[in-house]
Chain A
């Protein structure tokens, strides 16, 4: 056996051990979390049925952020992490405890998102989670967060089922896909006067969900859907789908999916000679990963987006954000608001016990979020019984040059 072989084997073993340690560490962390639930609660005035988060002096308060931090959709995920980071900088300390943001890479998929949810739920110093970024991640992860009574506020998971679970700890601060579809169809029909539409989606909970919502609303409004096709996330070549969908010569193409595939699709549509309207959801509202990645083909494309910054305090946020991270992409401001809501609620319910531990009752924390309207940088945020917003607005953007220009705003609720 050569030395090299020994070396390679040792390396492999080392890698396996490393992986195993990762798992073991989270299992060990689970124990203190349970201990914290049953901790001495004498100091709290009312018994909290969900238990308590107990953070000893000298430890750091953790705010979780679940988003795609690698691969195709990382432009969005990193933007969210940046937004939450600025929120923590603005908030400062929580009754003397330092607050840190911990990013979990859920890759915008189900299984890694569940792993992130398990790791976050096992962290005894975690007060809440901003995200998950994608609906397909949020739906399976919600079961874990609900079982562990972890406060979760998503600024970006727009699929309808996200808030349909009836869990009291799940919140969303963006308009859902039903409203996005309504806006899309209204804009196509009444502003652009188009009556034929081809639809392509990425077969995800989010993409297919919104594509089918657009399809039924478009048909209900009297339009004709000339075809609906699914592609696979991560694929590069959609030219065959493009040829098929263009066969019926639709006036517009609706894309139900994210930026990475959206940029490829619009590029391949234009290369195939399509000159009509390209329309998409919030998943393509990104300058670097959609407009620029499409290499000029995105010019004139429309998209709907619900969490537009611009309300109270947005200018100050923007200055701090751009100084550190450049321009926000999409959900940076939304994440800022979500993080701030978690931190404000935690501050409102937190107490310090006789041993000098920071005590946060979990149920009271979620109730505080629900009961407290908040004027954030993306607008007035007030929750209904399901954890959805009472009042939302959706803006239609158009890609013009290297910019996304708002062309129409729709308001919903009250």
Chain B
């Protein structure tokens, strides 16, 4: 029994990641009816922005003196970095193709995903490349800049695994026989807070109303004076920021990040979004937690290697039995 409770907590932690990432898939699908396959990589970019920030803060000793502030700054950096990446992608990779066939956008999304992974992997090379640009005898950048550029690019990305400093440690609380680490509690709390905030934003604010309108019918929304491009941009901003937050959580919790880290969580979160009902925000949250729980329960009763089989079997069964997902996603018709 005690082990089962522990497993449920494990499942809720993993589910928090899936749910936060799934929100981005579902929001973009809601307004654009497209699957943003680069979303997992936006999550990765967020983790890298966070890693860069906390590494710099740790170097100056700020993390030691103000651990709470340092973590908050890291989350902000990860969220903003990911959000800016998200709106840039929308502007350059998706907006030009909005009138093209859905397949074109999908291919563009896959291309963007590869681009982001390779970009983060090769950043140190770009750093040394741009600092070696010469005009005759004169270098493009002054000497002091060059060292800084190389330093920044090397701390930011690269082929090697980057490591978050272990700020939270492995300490935790014990409830009877069950031990829960503080990092787990933090992750679940952050995930729930942001999901509630997002739900309130979509339901109660003017921006949320506009997003729902765009998702319902772009042309009519435009006739009502809504700037559709701006709303789509905002949707990407919010969805990507949530992915960035999940990325930083991943780094703080698991410590290691790498350019390919977005792939598996991306696919799992996509599964979660479909299971919950793609285009439906509470559905994405529900799907995320369900998938996380399904995985740990399968590990409890089956050999661990069947975990992914169970997760994707759920996806297939769901697609056969109820293609619109548990909470009945928008399916053909858009609805946030």
Contacts and interface: CB of A to CB of B under 8 A. Distances in A.
B169 A295 contact: yes
Nearest to B301: A244
A243 B303 contact: no
A255 B170 CA distance: 19
Contact of A243 (B7, B14, B305): B7
Contact of B170 (A2, A70, A75, A271): A271
Contact of B163 (A71, A231, A292): A292
B203 to A, nearest CB: 31
B176 interface: no
B96 A8 contact: yes
A5 B11 CA distance: 43
Contact of A240 (B111, B160, B181, B295): B295
Interface stretch (A183-191, A215-223, A260-268, A404-412): A260-268
Given A8-B93, A8-B108, A271-B172, A240 B255 contact: no
B305 A5 contact: no
A293 B161 contact: yes
Interface string B297-334: 00110011101100000000000000000000000000
Nearest to A6: B96
Given A239-B14, A260-B256, A292-B163, A267 B170 contact: yes
Contacts of B7: 240, 243-244
Nearest to A234: B264
A231 B264 CA distance: 14
Interface in B160-205: 160-161, 163-166, 169-170, 172, 174, 179, 181, 183-184
Interface residues on B, range: 35 or more
B259 interface: yes
Contacts of B248: none
A150 B77 CA distance: 50
B258 interface: yes
Contact of B13 (A230, A231, A239, A270): A239
A295 B166 contact: yes
B305 A232 contact: yes
Nearest to A200: B304
Given A260-B161, A295-B165, A271 B255 contact: no
Given A71-B159, A71-B260, A236 B10 contact: no
A264 B11 contact: no
- Listed residue (B161, B264, B304) with the most chain A CB atoms within 10 angstroms of its CB: B304
Interface string B1-32: 00100110011011000000000000000000
A234 B264 CA distance: 9
Interface residues on A, range: 35 or more
Q: At the interface, is chain B mostly helix, strand, loop or mixed? A: helix
A241 B255 CA distance: 18
A294 interface: yes
A239 B293 CA distance: 12
Contacts of A69: 159
A239 B307 CA distance: 12
B278 interface: no
Interface string A1-40: 0101100100010000000000000000000000000000
A72 B258 contact: yes
A78 interface: yes
Contacts, number: 126
Contacts of B111: 12
A59 interface: no
A240 B300 contact: yes
B303 A230 contact: yes
A235 interface: yes
A237 interface: yes
Contacts of A72: 161, 256, 258
B100 interface: yes
B218 to A, nearest CB: 18
A203 interface: yes
B263 to A, nearest CB: 8
Given A240-B11, A295-B165, A232 B308 contact: yes
B141 interface: no
A237 B254 contact: yes
Contacts of B258: 71-72, 260
B335 interface: no
Contacts of A231: 304-305
Contacts of A70: 121, 159-160, 259
A272 B304 contact: no
Given A240-B295, A240-B304, A293-B163, 19 more contacts: A5-B100, A69-B159, A74-B159, A74-B160, A78-B160, A231-B305, A236-B261, A237-B14, A239-B10, A241-B304, A244-B3, A247-B3, A264-B255, A267-B254, A271-B181, A271-B183, A272-B181, A295-B166, A297-B166
13 contacts: A70-B121, A70-B159, A74-B159, A229-B303, A231-B305, A236-B254, A237-B13, A240-B307, A243-B6, A243-B7, A263-B255, A267-B166, A273-B179
Interface of B: 3, 6-7, 10-11, 13-14, 92-93, 96-97, 100, 108, 111, 121, 159-161, 163-166, 169-170, 172, 174, 179, 181, 183-184, 250, 254-256, 258-261, 264-265, 295-296, 299-300, 303-305, 307-308
Interface of A: 2, 4-5, 8, 12, 69-72, 74-75, 78, 203, 229-232, 234-237, 239-244, 247, 260, 263-264, 267, 270-273, 289, 292-297
Smallest CB-CB A-B distances: 9 pairs: A295-B166, A70-B159, A240-B299, A240-B296, A239-B10, A4-B96, A271-B170, A271-B181, A273-B179
